[in-house]
Structure 1
Amino acid sequence: MYTKSTSKVVKERREYNTWVANETLEDYSLRYAPRSFRKWSEFLVANTALGGTSFLALEAIGGSLLLSYGFANSFWAILLVGGIIFLSGIPIAYYAAKYNIDIDLLTRGAGFGYIGSTITSLIYASFTFIFFALEAAIMAQALQLYFHLPLALGYILCSVIIIPIVFYGITLINQLQLWTQPIWLGLMITPFLFIINKEPEAISNWVNFAGNSPSGAAFHPILFGAAATVSFSLIAQIGEQVDYLRFLPEKQEHNRVQWWLAVILAGPGWIFFGTAKQLGGAFLASLSINHGISATHAKEPIQMYLTGFADVFADPRVVLSVATLFVLVSQIKINVTNAYAGSLAWSNFFSRLTHSHPGRVVWLIFNVSIALMLMEFGVFETLDIVLGLYSNVAIAWIGAVVADLVINKPLGISPSYIEFKRAYLYNFNPVGFGSMVIASIISIIAFVGCLGAYAQAYAPFLAMGIAFVLSPIIAIATKGKYYIARQNVYRSQKIDPRTLIPCSICEQKYEPADTAYCPVYDGAICSLCCSLDARCHDGCKTNDDDIGSLTLAIARTVFSKKFSPQLGVRLVRFIGIFLLLLGIAAVVFGLVYYHSILKSPTFPINSSADFLGVLLELYAPLSVLIGMGTWLLVLSEESRELAEAELDRQNLQLQQEIEERQRVEEAMQLLTSELEHRVEDRTKELSEAIGSLKQTQVQLIQTEKMSSLGQLVAGVAHEINNPVNFIYGNLVHVGTYTQDLLNLIELYRKYYPDPEPEIHQEEEAIDLEFLMEDLPNILSSLKVGAERIQKIVISLRNFSRMDEANLKPVNIHDGIDSTLMILQARLKARPDRPAINVIKEYGDLPEVECYAGQLNQVFMNILSNAIDAIEEKLLDLSQMEVSQSVSTIKIQTEIDRNCYAKITIADNAKGIPPEVQKRLFDPFFTTKPVGKGTGMGLSISFQVVKEIHNGILKCNSEMGKGTEFIIEIPIDQKAVKA
């Protein structure tokens, strides 16, 4: 619930940088990768991810370890660390691929919190530019050897050529990795095959290589730990792998095997290649030494592969060309990955600090620029120092993440899913963040030698072990309180994950996994808009996570009786920032001292002490400057907050004034509206009265008409019925008498075959033979005619229903049949047209409660109009077309909506124009010529169906196809009225 502020935050559409809006360039940095963007196959994604394992820094690390610590220490360190990296990478790769998020978003939801993961983004970004610098330096060494290009210029060239490729993100990187993979694999494996064939003793030389190790080629626990420290720096490479794995398609039954293979091989499986390449680098370094290469250059990959390709090609120029090509391909493959991953890491880091996202491409250039600066400072010469120090923090980070995924989540201490959106996370979660900080501090103290030689050698193991153990301990101690700040509304509603939800800020549509409900803006908000918003001040969450409240609480506790609360807050902020900056400066000075003095074997002790004194003398005034800068930063930040608070107050006052004016305007509008409504109501009442009067007139006319017609029809039917019954009843006797007379004549002919001439003449005169044959036929025809008259009389009585004037159940079908009987003369064929076919599709209707006479009149009106429409259609046709045409009226009945009888009467005439359909049921509206229609038939029918029977009468018509009228009336009128 939104409780932090009573002021309303006005929504305003976020204007994006052109690069940010183009996801082909942006690759959904800062957010989840949606289904619409995951368009690549498992193989292509895995191939792209594995393309990052081409980096020759692995060979350089292997060679450096061999030269520094000998075979046994470097070999077992590489294998052990490789196994640990593989095991730690499995849960990270699985969760990243399952939830389609990068390493930063995974870290957020795995115990670090929204701001807490910012530190890990910086660690990860450092990993990318450090290794970018190492890889570009290796490439520059190859260019120097082949083209004699100075290293300084080579560093620039090797950095700049990466930017255009990474500019278009994974779309172009996919293609690059796909096409270069066969070349890289072939060139990497070929030298080893030829070396083993031509120089089998090289393996023995490698196994017995001592390098600079005090223990020679034998194993030494301290040297083993030191070697493992450098190799451990590769643990952060899993972050680059999942940057690509997040684009895997969704796991389903049909792709389950491919999906798991891609996750394992391209996720933690990268270390298989990494371990092999480190061992291969160590092997090539020993081979280079045996071929006369100095120890300084033997750890350079270009020198390693020059030695290797020398066994493949006889011509030195070919060897140099192929080795250079291999180095260039390998380094471009890895540095596009380093640069891409770094752009994502810096985007995440600065978006949370500045609430601004100028685009991934900006941070791509920033990352490459830092790497270029490191190269110019000679990062390759201090490879073991840089990686050894860095590995302690990286291992603590990965150890805390893995512990949360494999211990806390299965135990139910942390949520089973990964929640990465700012709206639902605390800024800091002590589980992961606290574990990483404590483990990093202890391991760095051990690494610099403060805890003894063994602790120094095994500092990375301390970092991982402490982080891995502390994570569940802190989670249990805090009861998992700091994982989720508030409930995810969309998750609890179980919305279809394929649904697209519009963001109320940027107005673009996103999947539910990428959106949150924002009570400040009172609507959905995408994860990017949520990350970049600086105006809401986390109003959706409680004060437990407010850093300002925490600072104020510390200030009140420490300075409660000595300073004002505001000054206390300033002091707390100053101390925190000042100590952080002092620590960073101390680390920088310590590295300079460590690299320049302690690592220089020719530097005298006194000079070392003097140099340390100079550093301390520089550090002291720098501390003062840092303090002044920190105080100015605190004051400027406080001024900004005060200005923002004042602006919020002014905005609130302005909003209140606007709301007050809006209320006055609404009151005026309401008064005006009320007056308009009164006029409209009076006008409506008058219109309704006039309409009611017209309807009453129509009903009176109809009632009188129906009454007169009914009485007339009933009277005629009654008068006709008596003589017809008399005739029909006597026809039986006449037939009997006639047959008797005919039989008597036959007897006379039998016994008096020769009558008198006069009788014979009379027989001929009256044509006795024909008379005896035709008289029975005449009597039969008279009987048929009498029966026909009886049926007509019954139809007239059924149609008029004078004996059923009240509401009562009747058989609807009888009424329809009676109407058709009356209209039979109009349906029969005529000289100018064929007969009109009536198709009856009667359903199983029960008796319907209705006013049968009035309903029959409705049938009469609709059927008469249908016949008129068909005859009008035939008038427009030629005689031949008329003779070939088939005219039909189709009548269907069925039960609709369980309690309604539905009667559909359709014709195949030419249809009713749309403008006529609108006025079809208006009184006195007709399209027929004068004298042929009054316009009352359908109007009366509409009133009979709707008002008398509480039913529905509607018309559907399409020009050229015909018209259908649909009548729906309740089967039980009492049930409808109830």
Structure 2
Amino acid sequence: MSIPIASKVVKARRDYNTWVATETLEDYALRFTPKSFRKWSELLVANTAIGGISFLALEAIGGSLAISYGFANSFWAIVIVSIIIFLAGLPICYYASEYNIDMDLLTRGAGFGYLGSTITSLIYASFTFIFFALEAAIMAQALELYFHLPLWLGYIICSLIIIPLVFFGVTLINQLQFWTQPIWLILMISPYVFILCKDPQALHQWVNFAGESPSGASFNPLLFGSAATVSFSLIAQIGEQVDYLRFLPDRQPENRRQWWIAAIAAGPGWIVLGAAKQLGGAFLAALAVSQGVSFAKAHEPIQMYLVGFEAIFHNPEVVLGVATFFVIVSQIKINVTNAYAGSLAWSNFFSRLTHSHPGRVVWLVFNVAIALLLMELGVFATLDAVLGLYSNIAIAWVGALVADLVINKPLGFSPSYIEFKRAYLYNINPVGFGSMLVASAIAIAAFLGAFGSTAQAFSSFIALGVAFILSPAIAIVTQGKYYIARENTHFHETSETAIACGICSNLYEPQDMAYCPIYDTAICSLCCSLDARCHDSCKPNPHHPWIAQLQTLYTQKISPHIGQRLLSFLLIFSSISGFIALVLWLFYTQQIAPVVEATAQVQLSFFQLYAVFLVLVAIASWWLVLSEESRQLAQEELDKQNGQLQQEIAERLAAETALQALTQELEARVIARTAELTQALHQLQQAQIHLVQSEKLATLGQLLAGVAHEINNPVGFIFGNLKYAEDYNTDLLNHLRLYQKHYPNPVPEISDHAEEIDLAYLIEDFPHMLSSMKVGIDRIAALSVSLRNFYRCDTTNKVACNIHEGLESTLLILQHRLKANQKRSAIQILKNYGDLSPVECYPGQLNQVFMNLLANAIDALEEERSPLDTQGFQPTISISTILEPNKAIIQIADNGSGMPPEVQARLFEPLFTTKPVGKGTGLGLSISQQIICEKHGGFLSCQSVLGEGTVFKIELPIC
């Protein structure tokens, strides 16, 4: 049963996991590399990976092999081993580049299990610090020769300068490799070119070089096998190549060719240049010996390239300076790679054992410190022995891994994909892990001479063959059931959509996520690795049935507590005692044996010293076991108390939840009752407003209808008699003209009277006066009709109405307000009427809306303005109508001063007004909105900008 994640993940753990996930420094050290981080081109990634094989240990190995085993044995060992390494590297680099995972994650999902790959991380980490020590020792030798620095000080300097260069991971390493690549290539190739041009016989000398080989320059199978064993130690270099290849962009049809070229050239292709460098080292070592350099010094790269650059430069100081510079550049290029890869390997190793991760930089320093210790112990002098022993383990690991990729997966013995997340893996997979252990044990025994000289010489081939055969054999026997502990049913798709981790709260791609039933949330692979509380409870059996059977058998014979203590003790004791044995062996072979005769007494003293150390280690190991057991018991007790506390918290939370639910229910009832009362009050207010407005409209309508009727009677009388008046006037004037025609000389009294009344003007003006009276009567009649139309009583049903008639009636009524006054000039009316069909509406109420909006527009244009604003200002009201599908739109706009946002927000509230007391009720716009929205099912809106004006928009459905 899962509980809320907040009660499971304390803030300290959440903050810690969030800090660990900071990829600026981490470079996705413990996880899949997402697409968002892979921002480099194929060429740049390949260039960085190829730059990592600049290490001069290749030349040193080649020179050492040539000196120890002669030309033929060393040559064929390098060639045959390089071919095998190339073939083994192909599937490894393909899967790592395709799934964007490092060597540890690839091993984890290809037959080794979650904890099984921990051992391989240790093998890989050993490779990085061994070769870091070798490369730094080579650079220290150059510093000793050029600057006369003591070797111990040179070791420290060569180690410390690498740390800041690797601090920011592949981001800085990319730039370092890019800028140093041309210099390194030129300085590496040019000595060979000049030597062969000046002395073609140098190749003949190399072919016949015998060194210290018992067989001379000829071929000897046993010596060939011994040389191959040393060369096989380079097989782990493929892990460093993979650490860079995981940053390749996704393979798409448009970049398929570049992707394959980069994956092969920078992946398994490294050994092509690596083999050439080994052969070049053997060649330069033979040349150095021919020029008087001792066997003990001839395999040192600085000595080799001193001989090489002497073919280019004649000045000894220039030769020494260029050779030293080349060694420094080469060793920095490779040691940033060794240190970077080592920090990744140690991060993987300790994060799974301790469930904590202090950061990749901590393990970077740790890796460099181990390499420094090996340098101070003289690891370079035991190059063949160290690499020969190491190669047997490395080749067993790679052999088991390659067998799973090229046999088990294609044949269906294992899943076709790479699953690397802890949540879905068994801790131990016997396919890869078991194959590696068996092959390593057999190969080391052979290397130590347990099976004779032939098996000793070919121990590395034995390791490769045994691992390669055992992996599919174990997969067939186990039917591949130890690859996947539980199916991934949540995040198996490939997608770029980021998912938040429930622990660290960061976003990751689905390929990096798992579902955790313990926390009941999505969890990233890093947080899953760091969690120590779940004890793999998400998996039915995190170990395996066969381990459970062994545990059952074991507990039947020995107490479970004693057995667990003994197992822990043996693990810690063997690890520490093995490391101390290695240190004492290196110290004895490098510091004691060269100066003191290896007598039985000296050897016994070392054995006695080692025995003392074993006693101390045993005591310390047992103390660690008991301390860990005490810690676990305390943790179990604490977990139990936490469980009880969580149960009590859960009960109190349940009670609190019930109380909150009751409180919320009461609050909801109060809110519902308040809402009902508010709604009732609002309805009452609306009813009151409607009642007042209806009564007002009814009274005003009756009054105006009566006034219009009373005006209409005399207007009709006058209008009806004007025609007769015009006819009578015409008749009288015609009669007067006839009289003047026949009696042109009237008596003086008539002439005086005609002059007094200005008869000529009267005859001319009287018809005009009658015409003006007719115009006035027409206007009075039109006004009467407008009053009747505007305030006519609405029916209970909507009627089809011409919107334009209502607008014109409203404008006619308001015509007196449109004239100029002391505050402003005459208001200009701009009409832009569209072709509207009749609209079903309540005409009287709709005309009331037009009246309110036009009256407000006129009021806005009459507001006080500054003298500067009124200069040249033409007050204007624009009326436009637009026909749209199923609706008519009427817009009434003015160019007044506009309204601020706070006024617009309250514009349609009842009783809200910005006018002084007595100038407005605050009901006009509220009633208008109700008429448009509620009565007509339309929409009324307002847009206003200060200083620019206001636009009211009415939308009415046509039907």
Does 1:343 find its partner at 2:343?
yes
Q: CA deviation at 1:202?
A: 0.4
CA 1:835–1:158 in 2, change beyond 3 Å: closer, same or farther? same
The letter of the residue matching 2:865 is D
Measured in 2, the distance between the counterparts of 1:731 and 1:415 equals 111
The letter of the residue matching 2:486 is A
Does 1:482 find its partner at 2:483?
yes
Greater Cα shift, 135-144 or 245-254: 245-254
CA 1:813–1:63 in 2, change beyond 3 Å: closer, same or farther? farther
Q: How does 1:662-681 map to 2 (within 5 A)?
A: 662-668=653-659
Measured in 2, the distance between the counterparts of 1:818 and 1:475 equals 97
Q: CA deviation at 1:377?
A: 2.3
Greater Cα shift, 524-533 or 838-847: 838-847
* Equivalent of 1:942 in 929, 941, 952: 929
Q: CA deviation at 1:201?
A: 0.1
Contact preservation (8 Å) 2:379, 2:586: no
Which residue number in structure 2 is paired with residue 531 of structure 1?
Answer: 529
CA 1:723–1:115 in 2, change beyond 3 Å: closer, same or farther? farther
Measured in 2, the distance between the counterparts of 1:28 and 1:343 equals 12
Residues 690-710 of structure 1, C-alpha deviation per residue, up to 9 Å, x if partnerless? 433322211111222233344
The letter of the residue matching 1:542 is K
Which residue number in structure 2 is paired with residue 802 of structure 1?
Answer: 793
The letter of the residue matching 1:291 is Q
Structure 2 SS opposite 1:858:
helix
Structure 2 SS opposite 1:957:
strand
* Equivalent of 2:876 in 863, 879, 887: 887
The letter of the residue matching 2:322 is V
Greater Cα shift, 84-93 or 267-276: 84-93
Measured in 2, the distance between the counterparts of 1:438 and 1:719 equals 123
CA 1:82–1:923 in 2, change beyond 3 Å: closer, same or farther? same
Does 1:191 find its partner at 2:191?
yes
Measured in 2, the distance between the counterparts of 1:892 and 1:220 equals 106
Which residue number in structure 2 is paired with residue 913 of structure 1?
Answer: 900
Does 1:107 find its partner at 2:107?
yes
Contact preservation (8 Å) 2:5, 2:519: no
Q: How many residues align?
A: 947
Q: CA deviation at 1:129?
A: 0.2
Which residue number in structure 1 is paired with residue 352 of structure 2?
Answer: 352
Q: How does 1:545-560 map to 2 (within 5 A)?
A: 545=542, 553-560=549-556
Contact preservation (8 Å) 1:911, 1:961: yes
Measured in 2, the distance between the counterparts of 1:783 and 1:496 equals 85
Measured in 2, the distance between the counterparts of 1:971 and 1:113 equals 74
Does 1:543 find its partner at 2:544?
no
CA 1:902–1:134 in 2, change beyond 3 Å: closer, same or farther? farther
Greater Cα shift, 280-289 or 906-915: 906-915
Which residue number in structure 2 is paired with residue 9 of structure 1?
Answer: 8
TM-score if structure 2 supplies the norm length?
0.84
Which residue number in structure 2 is paired with residue 571 of structure 1?
Answer: 563
* Equivalent of 1:655 in 646, 655, 675: 646
* Equivalent of 1:858 in 815, 838, 849: 849
Residues 517-563 of structure 1, C-alpha deviation per residue, up to 9 Å, x if partnerless? 44444444444333322223334x2222258x986553224444x55
Measured in 1, the distance between the counterparts of 2:186 and 2:89 equals 27
Contact preservation (8 Å) 1:422, 1:530: yes
Contact preservation (8 Å) 1:945, 1:951: yes
Which residue number in structure 2 is paired with residue 975 of structure 1?
Answer: none
The letter of the residue matching 1:887 is T
Q: How does 1:556-705 map to 2 (within 5 A)?
A: 556-560=552-556, 562=557, 567-568=559-560, 570-571=562-563, 574-575=566-567, 578=570, 582=574, 633-668=624-659, 685-705=676-696
Alpha-carbon RMSD across the aligned residues, in angstroms, is 4.8
- Identity among equivalent positions (%) equals 61
Measured in 1, the distance between the counterparts of 2:775 and 2:907 equals 42
Which residue number in structure 2 is paired with residue 976 of structure 1?
Answer: none
Contact preservation (8 Å) 2:875, 2:896: no
Q: CA deviation at 1:56?
A: 0.5
Q: CA deviation at 1:937?
A: 0.8
Measured in 2, the distance between the counterparts of 1:664 and 1:4 equals 17
The letter of the residue matching 1:571 is G
Structure 2 SS opposite 1:963:
strand
Contact preservation (8 Å) 1:890, 1:907: no
Residues 215-269 of structure 1, C-alpha deviation per residue, up to 9 Å, x if partnerless? 5434444443433322222222222223334445566677666555444433333
Measured in 1, the distance between the counterparts of 2:48 and 2:811 equals 79
Measured in 2, the distance between the counterparts of 1:809 and 1:109 equals 79
Q: CA deviation at 1:125?
A: 0.7
Greater Cα shift, 424-433 or 619-628: 619-628
* Equivalent of 1:924 in 884, 889, 911: 911
Measured in 1, the distance between the counterparts of 2:869 and 2:5 equals 84
Residues 639-674 of structure 1, C-alpha deviation per residue, up to 9 Å, x if partnerless? 333322221121122223333334444555555566
Greater Cα shift, 354-363 or 170-179: 170-179
Contact preservation (8 Å) 2:17, 2:504: no
Measured in 2, the distance between the counterparts of 1:621 and 1:474 equals 42
Measured in 2, the distance between the counterparts of 1:75 and 1:886 equals 103
Residue ranges of structure 1 left out of the alignment (5+ in a row)? 973-978
Structure 1 SS opposite 2:52:
helix
CA 1:52–1:669 in 2, change beyond 3 Å: closer, same or farther? closer
Measured in 2, the distance between the counterparts of 1:846 and 1:402 equals 83
Contact preservation (8 Å) 2:426, 2:482: no
The letter of the residue matching 1:9 is K
CA 1:37–1:885 in 2, change beyond 3 Å: closer, same or farther? farther
CA 1:820–1:366 in 2, change beyond 3 Å: closer, same or farther? same
Does 1:876 find its partner at 2:865?
yes
Structure 2 SS opposite 1:543:
coil
CA 1:169–1:558 in 2, change beyond 3 Å: closer, same or farther? closer
Measured in 2, the distance between the counterparts of 1:464 and 1:798 equals 107
Measured in 2, the distance between the counterparts of 1:647 and 1:681 equals 48
Measured in 1, the distance between the counterparts of 2:22 and 2:195 equals 49
CA 1:770–1:139 in 2, change beyond 3 Å: closer, same or farther? same
Does 1:397 find its partner at 2:387?
no
Contact preservation (8 Å) 1:845, 1:901: yes
Q: CA deviation at 1:358?
A: 1.7
Contact preservation (8 Å) 1:555, 1:572: no
Contact preservation (8 Å) 2:9, 2:503: no
Measured in 2, the distance between the counterparts of 1:395 and 1:846 equals 91
CA 1:832–1:388 in 2, change beyond 3 Å: closer, same or farther? same
Q: How does 1:260-279 map to 2 (within 5 A)?
A: 260-279=260-279
Measured in 2, the distance between the counterparts of 1:417 and 1:728 equals 103
Residues 858-883 of structure 1, C-alpha deviation per residue, up to 9 Å, x if partnerless? 333233222322332xx304377453
Residues 153-191 of structure 1, C-alpha deviation per residue, up to 9 Å, x if partnerless? 332332223223323433443443334333322222221
Q: CA deviation at 1:278?
A: 0.9
Contact preservation (8 Å) 1:570, 1:634: no
TM-score if structure 1 supplies the norm length?
0.83
Contact preservation (8 Å) 2:722, 2:770: no
